Amino acid sequence: MIKPLKKGLVGGLSYAALGLAILAGCHATLAQEKSQAEAAKQAAQLVRATRIKRITRLAGPYARQVVLSARQFHVRPLLVASVLYVENGGDYTGSASRISSAGAIGPMQLMPLTAQVLSVNPDDVRQNIRGGTLFLHRMLDRFHGNVRLALLAYNEGPTAVASGNICPQAETYARRVARWIRSGTDWDLAPQGHWKCPHVPGRAQRPSGRDPARRA
């Protein structure tokens, strides 16, 4: 015969004791969740600090402008910093007024016609970096987020990339930039599906018109 529970008891526990047990369990759960949240926050801060350190190392004196321009045009700062680093060969001495043999100007090595299309003054460092970042943004948009094609277009010009007329030097350039982007563990800008595009246009005859972004 099962004895009925006494009034005010649940499973042999008083309602007060049961309430305290429930509260203790809730506090333990909340403490665990808070601990997990703190750990996630610390991990995020560490990743952020690592990214900032890498961007500063790559962009040197232009790190602040790189971050500002990247935020303005929704481009990853690490991508912009890597392009900047490769364009200058890691040496920013005299880069503000640097002009290449092809006529590319400044830290982001903008062609004069490209700068004109982007409505920036390539001789002004801030506008030069902003223009280069905007051009990267447009190339990423044009090639549907495909980072490899966007980098090829930055170096070779979008017309050449769209027609499949990509020179080996541009391929080397894209790989060099990618190496710096992928030098850390937080790379998530270009998943394999974007970097290794399943369809890359085949070679075609070079267009007769000069691409404003082409530098060689």
Q: Which residues are catalytic?
A: 87
- What is the sign, positive or negative, of the torsion defined by CA atoms of 170, 132, 80, 191? negative
SS3 sequence of the chain: CCCCCCCCEECCEEHHHHHHHHHHHHHHHHHHHHHHHHHHHHHHHHHHHHHHHHHHHHHHHHHHHHHHHHHHHCCCHHHHHHHHHHHHCCCCCCHHHCECCCCCECCCCECHHHHHHHCCCCCCHHHHHHHHHHHHHHHHHHCCCCHHHHHHHHHHCHHHHHHCCCCHHHHHHHHHHHHHHCCCCCCCCCCHHHHCCCCCCCCCCCCCCCCCCCCC
Q: How far apart are CA 201 and CA 166, in angstroms?
A: 9
Q: Which two tokens stand for residue 104?
A: 């590319």
With vertex at residue 127, the alpha carbon angle to CA 142 and CA 78, rounded to the nearest 5 degrees, is 60
